[in-house]
Chain A
Amino acid sequence: MSTTIDIVLTNNANIASVRAAIARLGYQTRDADRRTVEDATHLILPGVGTLASARDALDEQGLLAPLAQRLAEPQAPTLAICVGMQLLSEGSEESPGVAGFGLLSGIARAFPPNVRRPQFGWNRIAASDNWLASGYVYFANSFALVDDPGPGWQTAWATHGVRFLAATRRGRMTACQFHPELSGAFGQKLIADWIKGDA
């Protein structure tokens, strides 16, 4: 039986790279819809642009409620990427007054003015307890979560002017501020482990 990975289409999120990464691992992909979001075996929530525009895109497709249902179940394999990860938090400075799903504590904050914005490129993440090895991963973001996500979440951190949350995991739910689909062998392994249930 071949595993199919459902991908949520958030506004104009560039998902060709996500699809290609999944194909390289030998799995099929499918565009998620209202019916599949809740019961897909594996779901990827990518995101670009602002938290508000990504949330609007979910709303337009009627995905907010089914997604909230799915996210309430930590054993449902879900991978949130970049703004997708920020959607799991309480919100973002970039989109005042717009709420995220609130699974991760805190809101996304702008990087301080003394560093390049956006953060474009490869940054080192520190090894995380019993989860990720240390390594370089590819980021493209101006905002990031800086708080501890809360009880039960394993964390991996990086620094760009400020220490920020690079990735976090609870049960079968993984969220990355970086782009695993563009992060070389390191990212490819993270996706493979997430699909198989090891990360």
Chain B
Amino acid sequence: MLTRRIIPCLDVADGRIVKGVRFQGLRDAGDPLERALDYQRQGADELVVLDVSATVAERAHQTAVIRRLRAELNIPLTAGGGVRSAADAQRLLEAGADKVAINTAAVLQPALLTELSARFGAQCTVIAIDARRHQDSWEVVINAGRDSASRDALQWIGEAEQRGAGEVLLTSWDRDGTLSGYDLELLRAASSRWSLPIIASGGAKTADHLVEAFEAGADAVLAASIFHDRDTTVSALKAQLFARGIEVRR
């Protein structure tokens, strides 16, 4: 049986891990390779590395970070952040990423998603969506949450699936960095409507939060600060999930 995944996320700027609340107020949280190896030892099922650099000059470090991680890691690696073209994706894949997450650029230019999937395969193509609650639905926000895309998040998942995305990294903009739990209604709505695997993101603090997300239909959960701050470990969370009857790799 396919197990549920725990995915630590490394937000990287200028070659260092950073973490902020609601995409703002970044602070240093360590060396990517050191942390990545630690998470692999703890039993992380894969890792996501998102480049949150503000400038193109800083962004050049992303490929070097991916190359360093790839040499050492024997679990899957997803790279994202600032992917604007097929050439950007190719650069990350050649550096050693197994999947590339694309966010704002796919919203602005949906054909790019089709192109990535056709060139590199659905198994390489992750659609990253930042969803912000708006009355009874969720709207897509882009440019690190600064702008509304005037698009319904659930419909956008459906279009992304049609265009060949293989997986959805679904971040609740409202919950990100708040440690108040995943947006379960969003997960329920997305997982019941579409067949693509869903990685829940934004708001994790406790094992209960992870259990709730899996029960709401998430296939994987992503978390950052709880691991970076050493509040818990992947292995401790997996032991608790296993005790709660959730199938995990141990």
Which residues of A approach B to under 8 Å, CB–CB? 12, 14, 16-17, 20-21, 23-24, 48-49, 113, 115-124, 136, 138-142, 159-160, 179, 181-185, 187-188
Q: Which residues of B contact A119 (CB under 8 A)?
A: 2
Partner of A20, one of B70, B76, B167: B70
> Judging by beta carbons under 8 Å apart, are A16 and B121 in contact?
no
Given A24-B74, A181-B74, A182-B98, does the pair A121, B123 have CB atoms closer than 8 Å? no
If A16-B95, A185-B74 are given as contacts, then 16 extra A-B residue pairs at C-beta distance below 8 Å, sorted by A number, are: A17-B70, A17-B77, A20-B71, A23-B71, A116-B2, A118-B167, A120-B123, A120-B197, A120-B219, A121-B219, A122-B2, A138-B76, A140-B123, A159-B1, A160-B2, A181-B74
> Judging by beta carbons under 8 Å apart, are B121 and A48 in contact?
yes
Distance in angstroms from A30 CB to nearest chain B CB is: 17
> Judging by beta carbons under 8 Å apart, are B5 and A121 in contact?
yes
> Judging by beta carbons under 8 Å apart, are B249 and A122 in contact?
yes
Q: Which residues of B contact A116 (CB under 8 A)?
A: 2, 195-197, 219
> Judging by beta carbons under 8 Å apart, are B1 and A124 in contact?
yes
The B170-220 residues at the A interface (CB cut-off 8 A) are 195-197, 219-220
> Judging by beta carbons under 8 Å apart, are A12 and B197 in contact?
no
Q: Which residues of A contact B197 (CB under 8 A)?
A: 116, 118, 120-121
User: How many Å lie between the Cα of A182 and that of B196 in the bound state?
Assistant: 21
Partner of B122, one of A138, A142, A160: A142
Distance in angstroms from A124 CB to nearest chain B CB is: 7
User: How many Å lie between the Cα of A21 and that of B124 in the bound state?
Assistant: 18
User: How many Å lie between the Cα of A142 and that of B4 in the bound state?
Assistant: 17
Distance in angstroms from A116 CB to nearest chain B CB is: 5
Q: Which residues of A contact B124 (CB under 8 A)?
A: 14, 48
Q: Does B120 contact A (CB under 8 A)?
A: yes
Cβ contacts A to B, 29 pairs, < 8 Å: A12-B93, A12-B119, A12-B121, A14-B124, A16-B94, A16-B97, A17-B76, A17-B98, A20-B96, A24-B74, A116-B2, A116-B195, A118-B197, A120-B166, A120-B220, A121-B3, A121-B4, A121-B197, A122-B5, A123-B3, A136-B3, A136-B249, A139-B2, A141-B123, A160-B2, A181-B74, A184-B74, A184-B75, A188-B74
User: How many Å lie between the Cα of A181 and that of B74 in the bound state?
Assistant: 6
The residue of chain A having its C-beta at the shortest distance from the C-beta of B248 within the complex is A122
Q: Which residues of A contact B196 (CB under 8 A)?
A: 116
Q: Which residues of B contact A117 (CB under 8 A)?
A: 195
The residue of chain A having its C-beta at the shortest distance from the C-beta of B94 within the complex is A16
The B76-108 residues at the A interface (CB cut-off 8 A) are 76-77, 90, 93-98
The residue of chain A having its C-beta at the shortest distance from the C-beta of B198 within the complex is A116
> Judging by beta carbons under 8 Å apart, are A122 and B93 in contact?
no
User: How many Å lie between the Cα of A123 and that of B70 in the bound state?
Assistant: 22
Interface string of B1-15 (1 = CB under 8 A from A): 111110000000000
The residue of chain B having its C-beta at the shortest distance from the C-beta of A117 within the complex is B195
The residue of chain B having its C-beta at the shortest distance from the C-beta of A191 within the complex is B74
User: How many Å lie between the Cα of A124 and that of B249 in the bound state?
Assistant: 8
Q: Does B45 contact A (CB under 8 A)?
A: yes
The residue of chain A having its C-beta at the shortest distance from the C-beta of B73 within the complex is A20
The residue of chain A having its C-beta at the shortest distance from the C-beta of B120 within the complex is A12
Q: Which residues of A contact B71 (CB under 8 A)?
A: 20, 23-24
Distance in angstroms from A162 CB to nearest chain B CB is: 12
The residue of chain B having its C-beta at the shortest distance from the C-beta of A118 within the complex is B166
The residue of chain A having its C-beta at the shortest distance from the C-beta of B247 within the complex is A124
> Judging by beta carbons under 8 Å apart, are A14 and B166 in contact?
no
> Judging by beta carbons under 8 Å apart, are B74 and A182 in contact?
yes
> Judging by beta carbons under 8 Å apart, are B249 and A183 in contact?
no
